[in-house]
Every structure is written in structure tokens, then in C-alpha cells.
Amino acid sequence: MFANKYLEKLAIVLCLIAPSYSALEVTEAVEIAPSLGLGRTVPGYFKIQTFDKARWSAFVEAFPEQPLAQNIKQHINSIQLESLVLSREDIFSTEFFKGMMRQKYCASFRGDRPVAPNLRNVNSDEMLAGILEILHTTEGDAAGFSTFVEGSIAQSQTVVAAYNQRIAASGGNSALLKHFLSKIFFAEDAYTDPVLTNMRMILLTEGLVAGDDHLFGAEMHLDHTIAQSLLKRIELEGEADTLVLGCGHSLIADVPETTAYFADEFLKAYTNKTFVHSCQHCRCDHDGQIAVAITEGGGAANISYDGGAHADIFADAVTPSFWTALAQLKTEGRSPIKCIIDHAFMLSAHEEFIANSLDIGGTFRTYLKDLTKKFEAVGFLLQGTQAFGERTEYIYVKVR
């Protein structure tokens, strides 16, 4: 049924996305140089339209011999759609929490107190009871450890609340599924392998995935620009005023009320699922921003999900064509971008490009330091800094 529905829609879709070609003709594939791979010279954007597991299961069953489809099938139950509901007891009874209590005890009292209970021989209640029994002879130690435990439970509940908020905002854990889809959309032979072409077409016609039109066609459009990807993203997901380069949307990043990396470690340990939680360059929350995964080195063959699974758009933001298209959008009054964030550590020589892409009052934020003279020369002033863990972000405002 799935294949029949695809065939019925194929002619119509080809007319929509490749009007210069007949749906009955076999279009000769474009010979693509490695340097012109998708995500480099030619940007690419796609959006998962639904997480309906029945529809995704039907899609993968249509390609029983395709390893990519079977990867999706294998991990389909790891896609998180619903909020997590964790009671205090749920959190406390986890292996993660038991191990954290023992680690805290060993780090604080190692050398002058007996060894804590063995992890394999006790549950969380017994671990806590054993540690408190050791500490009860010293005034304040037992009470202090109990305070640590209650504080850690509160931190865990804060993590769950933040996680659930992002689940609701993003409609689910898209990064895991995007990891596999990127191998269909951005493979080196994406336009020469007929199976990959068929897979992309079915994703479109069945309403599972939308995005740049050329991704679903029979050939790559070498004149496709970042401006077109941005406008398509805005059309499908709504307007955003911030463009973040080299980072992406994180289902869970560090939560301010917790210690570094606590949120990621706790959720991975608790869920025991194949999540792709955090973006590759930093652990900031970029949800609500337009994220661009900068693909560097090696051409199309080396494009993977790394970083890109968390981003909206694959593109090469170090090339002049990227910035020319962005500046043109601004000149035409169609660019919503008021802030550009560089978390890829790659834009130390792009001050003029950045200036041409922002109006007065626009901001540029970067982890790179010692750029003040360069940016003052093109009309920016250093407004201040903001710390993110061990990194410092420098904030520049365009004043002329």
C-alpha cells in the first residue's frame, strides 16, 4: 500500500519540485565534484513532519534490504515523544544515583573512613543507610551528606522538568531520527542511487519529511543558496531572529541549577535509550534559533550527523557564497536575523561578512577572543561577555 500511494503521487511531486523535467523521463544524474557536496557549496535543510511510529514503521518496511531503513527500524522505540514522569523514589532508586552517593562519599571521606558499601551488593536505600551509619559518629557529617542527597534529588527533578519542557517544545527527540535521515539526504551517491532517490520521494509524498525542494528531486540544484534554505526553514518552522553557526538544538543541555554535565549524565543513565542529547560544540540551549551545522573538510563523503543532527541546516558558513546570500536577504528586507552566534571557532576572519549581514543594533556573539580591533573596524563595539562553564562568550553590537 505504501509503495502504491507513492507511485500515485510521484508524477505530481516531480512536477512540483522539478518542473523542467517530465515525470515519465529518466533524468540523467548530475556529476558532482566532491567539493560541491550537499552541506558544503550546496546547503541542505529538511524537517521531520511527524513522529507517528506506525507511519515510520511502514516506511522502513517498504525497504527491507536497505540498511539505513533497518537502522531506523532498530532504533524507532528510542525516539522519545512523551514527557518523563519521575517520582522522587524513581530518581533515588536509580543505579546512577546510588553510584553518585558512593562517589561523593569516597571523594569527601576517602582515607579516614571505612570503605562505602559495594555497589553490586546494595540498592540505593542500603547505600545511603550504610554511608550514614559510617558518618553518624562525627557531628555534622551525616546531616551534611543527607543534605547533599536531597539537593541532588532536587537537581534531578529540575533536569526532568527542563527535559520535558524541551520535549514539548520540539515535538520529540528529532536528533536520533535525523542522524539516520542525513545518511539518505546527504550521502555522496544521494542523486545516483535510485533506492535513496525513492526513499526521499516517499518521505516527501507521505508527509514524513519536508524541506528544500532539491533534496527530493532527481538531481542536485547547484544554484541553491543558504537564503533559500533559511526561507524554507522559516516557512515550515516559523520566524527566528538568531542564527547560530556550528551548534544546534539540544534536547537537554546543562541546566543552570545543576553541576556541569549532570543533566546529560543523569538522563542517559535513567532512560537507557539511544538519545542524541547534546550538540557537539557546546551545551547551550539554542532552541528557538536557526541552527547551521558547519561542515568542514573532506567534501560530501565525510558529512555525518555529528553536530548536524542537532541543526536545521547543513551549510558551509566559511565560504563567501554563504555570506553573500545572507547579506542579500538583508538588503531585500527579508532577513529576520538580528543576532549571529559563532560557536564553531571558525569565523575569526569574517568580520566584514558578518557586518554586511546585520543591521545597526544587531549583535554578534563568539567564543573567539582578541577580535575587538577587527570588529571595531567594521562598526561593532564590544558590549560585554558572558560565561558558559569554562568558556567565555564575547558580545559585539553593530553601532554603524
Residue-wise DSSP of 140-160: THHHHHHHHHHHHHHHHHHHH
- Other CB atoms closer than 10 Å to residue 140's CB: what's the count? 8
Average pLDDT over residues 256-284: 70
* pLDDT for position 311: 83
Q: Could you give the angle at the alpha carbon of 275 between the alpha carbons of 51 and 193, nearest 5°?
A: 65
pLDDT for 295 equals 65
* 137-179 pLDDT per residue, tens: 777 899 999 999 999 999 999 989 988 887 877 777 777 788 8
pLDDT digits (tens, 9 = 90+) for 230-242: 999 999 988 899 9
**Residue 118 scores a pLDDT above 50:** yes
What confidence tens digit (pLDDT) does each residue in 317-356 have? 778 888 999 999 999 999 999 999 998 888 888 999 999 9
Spatial CA neighbour of 388 closest among 312, 278, 267, 266:
278
Give the model's pLDDT for residue 172.
Answer: 72
Mean pLDDT of 284-300: 71
How many other C-beta atoms can be found within 10 angstroms of the C-beta atom of residue 260? 11
CA neighbours within 13 Å on the CB side: how many for 62? 22
| pLDDT category of residue 10 using cuts at 50, 70 and 90 | very low
Q: Give dist(CA 299, CA 39) in Å, integer.
A: 9
Q: Which three cell numbers stand for residue 328?
A: 542579500
Cell of 267: 538522563
The amino acid present at 316, given as its one-letter code, is: D
**Above 60 in pLDDT, residue 359?**
yes
Check whether 31 has a pLDDT greater than 60. Answer: no
Q: Is the pLDDT of residue 113 over 80?
A: yes
Of the chain, the percentage scoring pLDDT greater than 70 comes to: 83
pLDDT at 252: 72
pTM of the model: 0.76
Is 216 in contact with 200 (CB distance < 8 Å)? yes
Residue 132 above 50 pLDDT?
yes
| pLDDT the model gives residue 283 | 66
Reference 310, options 266, 348, 270, 275; nearest CA is 275
Per-residue pLDDT band for 299 (boundaries 50, 70, 90) equals very low
Mean pLDDT lowest for which of 204-208, 247-251, 299-303?
A: 299-303
The answer to whether 204 and 14 are in contact (CB under 8 A) is no
Q: Which residues pair with 245 in a beta bridge?
A: 292, 342
SS3 state at 293: strand
Instruction: Quote the CA–CA distance of 49 and 281 in Å, as a whole number.
Output: 26
The three grid cell numbers given for residue 159, joined into one nine-digit string: 533536569
- What confidence category does residue 248 fall into, taking pLDDT thresholds of 50, 70 and 90? confident
C-alpha–C-alpha distance, residues 255 and 297, integer Å: 33
Task: Answer whether residue 227 shows pLDDT above 80.
Answer: yes
Average pLDDT of the residues of the chain: 82
Specify whether the CB–CB gap between 156 and 100 falls below 8 A: no
Long-range pairs for 394-397 at CB < 8 Å and ≥24 separation? 394/365, 394/366, 394/367, 394/368, 394/369, 395/363, 395/364, 395/365, 396/363, 396/364, 396/365, 396/366, 396/371, 396/372, 397/361, 397/362, 397/363
Pull the grid cell for residue 239: 520566524
Give the per-residue pLDDT at 145: 95
